[in-house]
Amino acid sequence: MTTTQRPETTVDIKLTDDAASQVKGFMQQEEVPVDSAGLRVQVIPGGCSGFQYRLNVEERPFDDDFVLDIKGLRVFVDAFSAQYLNGVTIDYVTTMQGSGFTFDNPNATGGCGCGSSFTV
């Protein structure tokens, strides 16, 4: 994995094989340009605990994004989100209740029952 570095800031995100496979499937369905497209991993204010995760397939990164190469996928992270995502592992799980992406975030100090928002 390569990480784009900016002064005093790095970001290290891990995708499980299941998560990477799901993202690649979404990208094929969306028919985005594989040479420039990637997965945007973002933290935004909101949710019942203060912050929430957002995942989107996007055609290209923004000029100031970190661009990571993880398991053959381009992953885009903005500087605001990077401070909350360092060390995060993203997985895709299927349970009797449904399927979806999960986040194991060592930076989180708390969360809520829904699993999609967190505090730091």
DSSP single-letter state for residue 6: B
DSSP element (H, E) containing 91: strand 89-95
Residue spans of the chain under pLDDT 50: 5-7
In a domain, 6, yes or no: no
Host domain of residue 55: 14-107
Q: Provide the domain count of the chain.
A: 1
pLDDT for 39 equals 97
Rounded Cα–Cα distance for residues 100 and 16 (Å): 13
Asked whether the beta carbons of 19 and 90 are under 8 A apart, the reply is: yes
pLDDT for 113 equals 57
pLDDT for 95 equals 86
Length of the chain: 120
pLDDT for 108 equals 78
pLDDT for 7 equals 45
In a domain, 67, yes or no: yes
pLDDT for 35 equals 86
In a domain, 18, yes or no: yes
